[in-house]
Structure 1
Amino acid sequence: MTDPSALVLIVEDEPEIADILQAYLERERLRTVRAGDGRRALDLHLSLKPDLVLLDVQMPLLDGWQVLAALRQRGDTPVIMLTALDQDIDKLTGLRIGADDYIVKPFNPAEVVARVHAVLRRSGRASRNPAPVLRVPPFQIDMENHAATVEIAGQAQRLSLTLTEFRLLVEMAQYPMRAFSRAELLEACLPEGDALERTVDSHVSKLRKKLEDLGVVGVPASVRGIGYRFRDLA
C-alpha cells in the first residue's frame, strides 16, 4: 500500500492540468506541492525532498529534460514525465536521462494516479512507515508526540497549542496548497462534539494569533468563499 504521507511534486505550467492532478492525488491522501516552471521545481525539490516528481516536458525557464538531468545529478527521486510529445525519440530521451515512467497528454488522471502508486511501490517508497515528523518550513511538527516548533531567526521556538489548534495545524500542513472548507476542518479536527462551523473560525483565529506573536504572519491563510489554506499561494 502506498504511504499516505508520500509527497508528490507536480511540475506543470498549465494551472488547469495541475489543478486536476492535485485533486486526484489528494483524493488518494497523497500530499502535493506545485511548481509552474523548471527553476521553481528544482528549488522545491531541494527544500522539500518529494517522494516523486510529475514532470511536464514543455516548461518555462528550464524544460523538463533539463530538470530531469539536474534531478538525476542529485539522486534517484522517482520521476514520471508528462508531455504532449508522443514520438518514440522523446520517450527514449526521457528514459535515457533517467525517467521512471512516461505519460502522453491528453491523459486520464486516474491512470496518472495509478502510475504514481506503481512507481512509488517499485521505488520502495510505498512501504516505509509514515514519518512521525512533518517538516513544512518554517514548521517542524512531531505528530506522534503532539509537539510543534517554528524556526525564527535560526532558532526553533516551541509552540504552545491546544489539541484542536495542533490538529488544525497538522491537517493543513500536510496539504499546504489545498484550500479547506470549514466543514472539512470541523470533521477532521473537532470530531468529538457537535460544534458549529463558526467554531473553526475561532480556533483558527487563536492559532493565527499565537503564530503572529512569534512573527509568523499569514498562517493559516483565509480563502474567500471557501475557508482556509495553510498559507497564501506564492
Structure 2
Amino acid sequence: MNYVITPPEQASVAVTGTEQRFPVHRIYCVGRNYADHAREMGSSGREAPFFFTKPADAVLSAVADQVITMPYPTLTGDLHHEIELVAAIGKGGSDIAVADAPGHIWGYAVGLDMTRRDLQADAKKLGRPWCIAKGFDASAPIAPITPVAQAGDIAHAEIWLKVNGEARQSGRIEQMIWNLAEVVSHLSRAWQLAPGDLIYTGTPAGVGAVQRGDVLEGGITGLTPLHVRVA
C-alpha cells in the first residue's frame, strides 16, 4: 500500500508466555455490568446493556511481572480506576447467538477502564457523550492476554484491585448482570465484531480516585495480573 503519510504503529497487547502479540482492532466497553457498581453510580435493575468505545491506541500494554507507567491525564482532577475482565475476540461475526459466543473469544486479560470522573459527570449533566472522559491516551491499561485454553474457569473467577497495597475493589465474574456470552451477543447486534476487538466487560463496586505516585495492582483468578504506576 502506498500511503501519503507514514501510517501509525499497529496497537497491540502482549500475550502470556510468548513473544507474540495480539493486534487491536477496536475497544468496546460495557457500562454498569455489576449490580453493586450500578447502585453506586445511581442505577438499579437489569437494564439492557449499553456500550461505549475507546480508541484502539488507548491501550497501555503491560508486561508480565513488571509495573507499567501511566501518565496522569490532562484536564482532570478526579481520575478513577475501574478493574475489568477483558475478552479478546479471535473470530468475528454479527448477530452472534449466546450459545455460539464463547467460540469467538480468543483469550482473556485483566484491564483497567481509567476514567476522568469529573468530565464524565459534567457530560452527563449536559447530556453529552462521554468520549473525553473515557477515551483519552493510555486510558485502557491491560495485562498480557491469556488464551482461553489456559485461563481456567473464568465464569467463577474472583476479580480484585489494590491501590498502594490497600484493597479497593473485589467481586466475582459470575456477578455480572449480563454474562460474557450475553455481552458478546448483544454487542454483535450493534457492530460486526472482528478479530482483534477487545471487550472491557464492566467493573464491580469500589471505584475511586487515584493520584500521581499511586501503584495499582489488579487481578483475576487464572490470569496474569496487572501492575500500573500513575505518574
Q: Same fold (TM over 0.5)?
A: no
TM range (shorter): under 0.3
Between structures 1 and 2, the one with greater helix share? 1
TM-score normalised to structure 2 length: 0.23
Bigger Rg, which one: 1
Between structures 1 and 2, the one with greater strand share? 2
